[in-house]
Structure 1
């Protein structure tokens, strides 16, 4: 049986409607999801992004996404090379400084737990600690005991979470006053 042009149009409309219904969820997911930018930060002592999230210091968009300071591995930048979070590299922004002894514990919170190569801690260009991750996925929170031997006074600690499953790392800066 041969269909006329008029009879084919409703069938095509039905096929198009079915295809649209099937593709709609995929399109919605594709349009509303954004690439994962970062998934962890230091909550205690309060990192710069934690201070932004709490409203301690007035910041830009980092206020709503403290976990999102991600950039290529190997940077020495509080903003992880991300211009959206440039506030984090401004040393004159009024960051609260936490008094610590000759060592302290840094507590990380993870919203996405990537397999971990290691965590590194720096003061200036000096690496003061490195904690291995063994390629494992960390729990939701992790604490590292870091020794400040050889440093005193006000210091900016750059903490880096090097993840094993991408070429990126997560960055957090913490302002401390080391009282030895």
Structure 2
């Protein structure tokens, strides 16, 4: 039976082990701010009653492999993380939108609090007829991304801009889902941006 000093050391070892087991798998975090994502709107306090996401907009991290894997339908904007469930709430279609033009060139911008080895960035858009009054599902999105930027393991800059064209043939309210896939973990970061074409 260990003495007091041994028991204390054993206790500290258990705490350290638990801390290591619960640590996030990626050392990098990020979000989109152009078009502005829901998590950034919460961090800016443009949208209130957001819960924990207002303090860590860079932490929307879930399983990678979207759309065949990744967060469940209805939980895509939160990456399936219950502490960020406010991001999945459609708020009756009242999330603020960014005005964009169908088919025109656009600068999609990410902000990173730390960078990480990256597979790619993919951008998806909702199908015509989506109005933002329910939580996002795969059936709401076009099956193929309208923009893919390969990184092949490279690390993005702290502020990274991807130049591409907004999808054509769109009018009205839509959602753009940006997915940042990490190269050397099983995770990806998700950012939902409400837009008005």
- Fold conserved (TM > 0.5)? yes
Q: For 1:91-106, what aligned pairs fall within 5 Å after superposition? A: 91-92=90-91, 94-101=94-101, 102-106=104-108
Q: For 1:74-153, what aligned pairs fall within 5 Å after superposition? A: 74=66, 75=70, 77-92=76-91, 94-101=94-101, 102-123=104-125, 124-126=141-143, 127-147=145-165, 148-153=167-172
Structure number with the higher strand fraction is: 1
Q: Distance in 1 between matches of 2:118 and 2:95?
A: 29
Q: What displacement does 1:29 show?
A: 6.9
Cα deviation, 1:3-41, whole Å, max 9, x if unaligned, reads: xxxxxxxxx99xx59x96xx97x8887777862376110
Question: Counterpart in 2 of 1:43?
Answer: 33
Point out where structure 1 has 5 or more consecutive residues left out of the alignment: 1-11
Question: Counterpart in 2 of 1:67?
Answer: 58
Q: Name the larger-Rg structure.
A: 1
Q: Distance in 2 between matches of 1:90 and 1:105?
A: 27
Q: Does 2:196 match 1:171?
A: no
Count of residue correspondences: 161
- Answer with 115-124 or 80-89: which moved more: 80-89
Q: Distance in 2 between matches of 1:160 and 1:95?
A: 20
Output the TM-score relative to the length of structure 1.
Answer: 0.78
Q: Distance in 2 between matches of 1:49 and 1:85?
A: 9
Q: Distance in 2 between matches of 1:103 and 1:60?
A: 34
Equivalent residue in structure 2 for 1:162, among 173, 181, 184: 181
Point out where structure 2 has 5 or more consecutive residues left out of the alignment: 126-140
Q: What displacement does 1:50 show?
A: 0.2
Q: Distance in 1 between matches of 2:106 and 2:177?
A: 14
* RMSD over aligned Cα atoms: 2.5
Q: Distance in 1 between matches of 2:16 and 2:39?
A: 28
Which of structures 1 and 2 has the larger relative contact order (alpha carbons within 8 angstroms, sep 6+)?
Answer: 2
